[in-house]
Structure 1
Amino acid sequence: MAGNAPDATNFSDAKGPVAPERRERPLSRANLARTLATGYLPLLLATVVVAAPLAWMVLSSLKSPGEIITTDLTVLPRNPTLDNYAQAATTVPFARFFANSVIVTVVGSTIKCVLAVLTAYALVFVRFPFKRAIFLAILVALMVPPQVSVLPNYIFIAGLNGLNTYWGIILPGLGTAFGTFLLRQHFLTLPASILEAAEIDGAGHFRRLWQVVVPISGPSIATVTLVTIVGEWNDYIWPLIVTDRPEMMTLPVGLTLLANSDSTAQAWGVLMAGAVIVIIPILVIFAALQRFIVAGLTQGSVTG
């Protein structure tokens, strides 16, 4: 009967009571070793792999040529100097390169982000034929390396007399398959009731986009913006192909001009200084926007 049923908590076999399950203490030696081996050690190795070249570049830019070209390896500069930066700034027109990079990055990134927002909104909230086929084509574009389109783009831009022009640098890269895909995935997670309420209030597509969708999609849009800015600023192959005049070169291409101006081993410090000048602005932008990256990628990873 139920009243005579043995209590599970007092159950014992012939050998005595069952021993309670041993729980591993949070600060036990095994748990600590596992945390170090699977967490902190890989993180430390990844940080060293990423940060060591950057740190070496910055330190080398402060060294004299004799400290770089030597068999006696020294990590820290004995007498830090900014002469390499002064020489880099006077050897090539870095101010012009910087202005060109800013113009190309600001204009190109703005247009690409606006197009990505509009395209993603259309793929989610606008009904039109062949929508799935268009999205499939965007996915295919993500898999195609950009180097494949270099020759057709060059023939097209050269035929329109776009060499050594800002629009010739910007135009071929205005499409962003990654930004469109990420924003589409995020827009799919937005509550349909919000858009339906805006539609009932008489809001059209553009009003719903800019007054409803964009304000609540800040992290995802910031992520696309950051990735686009980094890509535009660091782009090297295409600006190198379509520009041959120094007054139209961007900063990455200007480094090539700086390297060609002095091919001796004594110029390593100057090249390191030039590389530091190129990466400092993008590091500042990344530091300002990096908090949006995780939130933006997480929002775009779940579909509704």
Structure 2
Amino acid sequence: MTGVDVELPVGGPAGPAPRRDAAVPAAATTVPPTDAAALRGEGRRKRTRASRVFAWVALALLGIVFVYPFVWLVSASFKPRTEVFDNRLIPETFTLDNYVSVWQEAPLGLWLMNTVIVTVLAAVTVTFSSAMVAWGFSYFRFRGRGALFALVLGTMMLPGAVTMIPTFLIWNGLGQVGTLTPLWAGNLFGSAFYIFLLRQFFLGLPRDLFEAARIDGASQFGVFWRIALPLCKPALAVVLVFEVQAVWTDLMRALIYLRDSDTFTVPRGLKSLVDAFGFGGEWHWEIIITASVITTIPMIIVFFVAQRQIIDGVASSGLKG
């Protein structure tokens, strides 16, 4: 040994130092996170755009399906009898004679007036009576309230044919058969469906508001009339419009109770037109179609005017309570 000190590399003879030209890791070649998020966002936008286009196309097709019968009805009302069923939306021979003839062949104005009277009385009475009953079930706390309310809802399961004969016997005993009274007076006792709908709305109102009114000296009816009813206008509008539509198109009760053409409503009058103009196998459908158009237009106007109230009322009644 010569005593010369030999310095070894730090770490000992573990191997050669790493080369500077080693391969780049695979992770470094992937798409940056920001670019991947942008690609995902673009894919979502494309899917959303495609779903919107599909929804618009589907709604347009459904709209055409529902609107086409009425458009065909209006078009046929301007055609002569020989061209009513030619299935053209634009009449080949345009005529207004049908609208003149329908007023001459039938007392359509009187039927419309009778229908308006019955509709207004039925809609107003059922709205007010159902609101009073619904207010009682929602505001007052009493024993057996749940069972009594369930009994009211249970009447909805009774078919109309079950109560048809007993109801007729009652009105016949009162001497009201042949008048307009049976077509609307039954609504004085409310409707189970409307009671349920209005009760759900009343339950969503803050009870503290009513208690504060009672402390200020308001009577029970005053709380209902001055506070509860103004707050549930959307639900009342829904009940009113639903009942207007139901009474305006009601044929069954008109067939049962009306005898004289002077008391006919629009549905009963249209039925008499179908019976009157079907002779010798040759139907005057142009008269019937024209009368149908005239009697359908008022309901379209009602729904067009009250569509916002209907949507707000149904949405509020479904979410509250």
Q: What is the TM-score when the length of structure 2 is the normalising length?
A: 0.83
Residue 241 of structure 2 is aligned to residue 226 of structure 1 = yes
Alpha-carbon spacing, 1:193–1:171, altered in 2? closer, same or farther (3 Å)? same
Look at both structures and tell me which one has the larger radius of gyration over its CA atoms. 2
- Asked if structure 1 preserves the Cα contact closer than 8 Å seen for 2:130 and 2:195, the reply is yes
* Structure-1 residue corresponding to 2:250: 235
| Structure 2 gap segments, 5+ residues each | 1-24
Partners of 1:26 and 1:105 in 2: CA distance = 54
* 1:121-200 superposed matches below 5 A: 121-174=135-188, 175-200=190-215
Partners of 1:180 and 1:83 in 2: CA distance = 47
**Deviations, residues 151-180 of structure 1 (Å, cap 9, x unaligned):** 221222222222111212223344322211
Partners of 2:271 and 2:249 in 1: CA distance = 13
Partners of 1:90 and 1:26 in 2: CA distance = 65
Shift of 1:205: 1.3
Percent of residue pairs bearing the same amino acid type: 29
**Deviations, residues 165-218 of structure 1 (Å, cap 9, x unaligned):** 121222334432221111100111101221111111011111001111111111
* Number of equivalent positions: 289
Give SS of 2:287's match: helix
Amino acid at match of 1:42: A
Partners of 1:160 and 1:190 in 2: CA distance = 41
Partners of 2:85 and 2:315 in 1: CA distance = 46
* 1:1-304 superposed matches below 5 A: 15-16=27-28, 19=33, 20-21=36-37, 22-25=39-42, 28-37=45-54, 39-70=55-86, 73-174=87-188, 175-263=190-278, 264-304=281-321
Shift of 1:279: 1.1
Amino acid at match of 1:56: W
Partners of 1:267 and 1:24 in 2: CA distance = 62
Partners of 1:291 and 1:104 in 2: CA distance = 25
Amino acid at match of 2:206: P
- Asked if structure 2 preserves the Cα contact closer than 8 Å seen for 1:92 and 1:257, the reply is no
Give SS of 2:42's match: coil
**Deviations, residues 65-123 of structure 1 (Å, cap 9, x unaligned):** 121145xx422112322211221111121111111111111111111011011011101
Alpha-carbon spacing, 1:65–1:47, altered in 2? closer, same or farther (3 Å)? same
- Asked if structure 1 preserves the Cα contact closer than 8 Å seen for 2:115 and 2:265, the reply is yes
RMSD: 2.1
With a CA cutoff of 8 Å and minimum separation of 6, indicate the structure with the bigger relative contact order. 1
Partners of 1:274 and 1:27 in 2: CA distance = 52
* Structure-1 residue corresponding to 2:13: none
Give SS of 1:300's match: helix
Higher mean displacement: 266-275 or 75-84: 75-84
Give SS of 2:232's match: helix
**Deviations, residues 129-167 of structure 1 (Å, cap 9, x unaligned):** 322122212322334343432222122222222211121
Amino acid at match of 1:176: S
* Structure-1 residue corresponding to 2:22: none
Amino acid at match of 1:35: R
Partners of 1:290 and 1:251 in 2: CA distance = 24
